[in-house]
Chain A
């Protein structure tokens, strides 16, 4: 039996929810960053699934092109974000977000 679009979207939603939970609950900056990656990948799964079940031939690949660009931008974003984390660690010697609360009211 072939899996349906709603099953793929459900997997994508579960992945997004897990990533959001990680961003909210975890305290380690690196693990928060990994959870952000999970959320980006949830969006990718949804886009590819939508593109697969798209019946119009002329727009059938648009979702995949979008995912292509998302992967590229995510790679750039990861490199900049990790450089920021390293710079922050040099200054403050911590990756716990509870210790990085100088801007908190």
Chain B
């Protein structure tokens, strides 16, 4: 059951991410933005499978909600027409694909050597202890980890709130009509 759901969400994530970057049917940025929404929603499905329920909700609220509305708003504000198909530099395209493919294969082989077949038994052994860790990503547990006791994250939390304030002021300053 969990394996099937993982396959569905992982496939959907990778497929729609590919369609964000290289959609063969449309060059319209709006299409890319809508496929980015699909990617975010399937990533939040992966978070649910990993037991991070609060983060799954936040992922949908912040990314599929706020960030994507911002993206669509800007795309439509700029009134981008379907970009004229420029002559693609084939050499740089091939080089880019090769570089990224090489990077991915290095990453893949390093994962397989570290977490692959050899360490499979360990994970099976850990599975027995995972029954009570199952609810670990609930809102209450995450809130306690954030705010409680000696190992809390209260100072980073406050710094992040100031960062949000600074970002808001910066955006207002940047988008004024006549920057002085």
Known: A19-B17, A69-B156, A83-B170. A61 touches B136 (CB 8 A): yes
Q: Which A residue's beta carbon lies closest to that of B127?
A: A2
Instruction: Report the separation of the CA atoms of residues A31 and B23 in the bound assembly, to the nearest whole angstrom.
Output: 11
Q: Are A71 and B66 in contact (CB under 8 A)?
A: no
In the complex, are the beta carbons of A95 and B80 less than 8 A apart? yes
Contact partner of B62 (CB less than 8 A), chosen from A11, A33, A71, is A71
Q: In the complex, are the beta carbons of A15 and B17 less than 8 A apart?
A: yes
Contact indicator B55/A68 (Cβ below 8 Å): yes
- Our count of residue pairs bridging A and B at CB distance below 8 angstroms stands at 220
Output the residue of A9, A15, A69, A79 with the most chain B CB within 10 A: A79
Output the least CB separation between A57 and chain B (Å). 7
CB contact between A41 and one of B43, B75, B104, B146 (< 8 Å): that residue: B43
On whether the beta carbons of B29 and A28 are closer than 8 Å, the reply is yes
Chain A contacts for B115, CB-based, 8 A: 4-6, 9
A65 touching B2, Cβ below 8 Å: no
**Interface contact A10-B108, CB-CB below 8 Å:** yes
A residues near B46, Cβ cutoff 8 Å: 8, 11, 45, 48
CA distance A11 to B104 in the complex (A): 11
Are A73 and B111 neighbours in the complex by a CB distance under 8 Å? Answer: no
- Contact between A83 and B171, CB atoms less than 8 A apart: yes
- Contacts A11-B10, A45-B46 given; does A31 touch B21 at CB 8 Å: yes
Q: Which residues of A are found within 8 Å of B131, using beta-carbon distances?
A: none
Complex-state Cα separation, A39 to B142, whole angstroms: 24
| Identity of the chain A residue whose Cβ is nearest the Cβ of B66 in the assembled complex | A75
A-B contact pairs, 19 of them (CB 8 A): A2-B2, A13-B104, A13-B111, A25-B21, A26-B21, A28-B29, A31-B29, A37-B36, A37-B63, A41-B40, A44-B43, A45-B43, A55-B129, A65-B153, A76-B166, A78-B70, A79-B70, A83-B175, A84-B174
